[in-house]
Amino acid sequence: MDLDLTGRHALVCGASQGIGRACAVELAKLGANVTALARRAKVLKQLVEELPRTHTSQMHDFLVADSGDTDGLRAAAEKLVAAHPVHILVNNSGGPPPGPAHGATIDAFLDAYRKHLIANHLLAEIVIPGMQAAGYGRVVNIISTSVKEPIAGLGVSNTTRWAVASWAKTLATELAPFGITVNNVLPGSTKTPRIKQIVQTRAQKSGVEVEAMQHAMESEIPMRRFADPSEIAAAVAFLASPAAGYISGINMPVDGGRTRSL
Ligand code: NAD
């Protein structure tokens, strides 16, 4: 199986922590040159120093940008691809704040769409010409299992994820003739700062201890545990590899078997 990404350039968004950071690490382990995008320069600089290097010519760098600032994101990404075309794009950003759909503000929807759907589309549009020229392209979007089964209490998030999934499926069909694949990875509960926030919110609302809430959530998962971010990143790295060249337009849950639907 060909997992070698030597000479490929991966742009990994939301890379300063959690799943994005784990993706940067796994792609680097397969030999890719990684550009880590997020908002905090200091954290990214440290990450770039720590990323694995499998060969002497492997180079990593970082890009400071905010997925909610469309113009700033465009300028940063255009500058990047002008110097180094991108072959692998991992679309990822912080999840929208929890809360029901009923009562959610228009601004909450607009903000989530801007940081996810719009940012993903903007970046894809900027990197696709380089992928076409290289005859190799991988777009992997980190979404959520809520694409298959909307999650209670995540109204804005559920809605936004579905929009991203539909965008990705459409794009996958359009780009397939160019050797570019577009896929979604759907994490289940994963041990990152994001899940800590969700567990705390649910515990507070139910009036139970955080540990008890985590235990209750874990017991709903057939594997009885949350994922390690590296387990989500392994799926992303595989989809980014040459070995996954005939896989496009899919939603891949990585959730310990939690999703009940087919
Ligand atoms: P996280 O909050 O730990 O990390 C998010 C990353 O995105 C960080 O690097 C953060 O700096 C970056 N980021 C946030 N807002 C940004 C912005 N405006 N511009 C640029 N970068 C920004 O989240 P995570 O747990 O790693 O999750 C990543 C994605 O996967 C999120 O969309 C999340 O909702 C989704 N997800 C997570 C879980 C889970 O259990 N952790 C489950 C399902 C889906």
Specify the amino acid at residue 171.
Answer: L
pLDDT score, position 130: 98
Render pLDDT for 26-76 as a digit per residue (tens, 0 to 9). 999 999 999 999 999 999 999 999 999 999 999 999 999 999 999 999 999
The pLDDT value recorded for residue 212 is 96
pLDDT of residue 252: 98
**Residue 38 domain flag:** yes
CA–CA dist 22, 20 (Å, integer): 5
- Assess whether pLDDT exceeds 90 at residue 194: no
For residue 114, the model assigns a pLDDT of: 98
Query: In ligand 1, which atom is closest to the CA atom of 197?
Result: 2
Residues 131 and 175 grouped into a single domain: yes
Q: How far is the CA of 14 from the centre of ligand 1 (A)?
A: 6
Residue 80 shares a structural domain with residue 146:
yes
- Which CATH number do you get for residue 145? 3.40.50.720
Ligand 1 atom with least separation from CA of 226:
40
Instruction: Convert the pLDDT of each residue in 83-99 to its tens digit.
Output: 999 999 999 999 999 89
120 lines ligand 1 (CB under 6 A): no
139 and 174 co-located in one domain: yes
The answer to whether position 259 is within a domain reads no
Which residue, judged by its Cα, is nearest atom 14 of ligand 1? 94
The rounded Cα 187 to chain-centroid distance in angstroms is 9
Question: Which pLDDT belongs to residue 238?
Answer: 99
Q: At what angle do helices 119-134 and 155-175 cross, to 10 degrees?
A: 20
Mean pLDDT of 121-134: 98
Spatial distance between the Cα atoms of 196 and 160, rounded to a whole number of angstroms: 21
- 3 lies in a domain? no
The pLDDT assigned to 197 comes to 85
Using most ligand atoms within 8 A of CB, pick from 93, 232, 254 the residue to mutate for ligand 1.
93
For the Cβ of 194 lying below 6 angstroms from any atom of ligand 1, the answer is yes
Residue 102 shares a structural domain with residue 210: no
Q: Give yes or no for a contact between 186 and 251, defined as CB atoms under 8 angstroms apart.
A: yes
Within this chain, do residues 212 and 240 fall inside the same structural domain, yes or no? no
Domain that holds residue 211: 192-226
Instruction: Report which of 111, 110, 96, 88 is spatially closest to residue 13, judged by C-alpha positions.
Output: 88
Q: How much distance in Å is there from the Cα of 169 to the middle of ligand 1?
A: 22
Q: How many domains does the chain have?
A: 2
**CB of 190 shorter than 6 A to ligand 1:** yes
**Ligand 1 atom with least separation from CA of 22:** 26
- At residue 259 the predicted structure's pLDDT band, cuts being 50, 70 and 90, is very high
Q: Could you tell me the pLDDT band of residue 192, with boundaries at 50, 70 and 90?
A: very high
- Distance from the alpha carbon of residue 202 to the mean position of ligand 1, in angstroms: 18
- What is the rounded distance in angstroms from the CA atom of residue 71 to the CA atom of residue 68? 9
Domain assignment of residue 145, yes or no: yes
- Domain assignment present for residue 183? The answer is yes
pLDDT per residue as tens digits for the range 143-183: 999 999 999 999 999 999 999 999 999 999 999 999 999 99
Let me know whether 137 and 240 are in one domain: yes
Task: State percent of the chain over pLDDT 70.
Answer: 100
Instruction: Report the pLDDT value the prediction gives residue 87, as an integer from 0 to 100.
Output: 98
Residues 46 and 104 in one domain: yes
| Residues 76 and 205 reside in one and the same domain | no
Cβ(17) – ligand 1 distance below 6 Å: yes
Query: H-helix or E-strand containing 254?
Result: strand 251-254
Mutate which of 48, 91, 147, 194 for ligand 1 pocket (most atoms within 8 A of beta carbon): 194
pLDDT average, residue stretch 204-215:
94
Q: Are residues 235 and 246 in the same domain?
A: yes
151 shares its domain with 210: no
Distance CA 180, CA 228 (A): 28
Task: Say if residue 163 is in the same domain as residue 206.
Answer: no
Assess if residue 155 is contained within a domain: yes
Question: If residue 251 lies in a helix (H) or strand (E), which one and from where to where?
Answer: strand 251-254
| Pair (177, 94) in one structural domain | yes
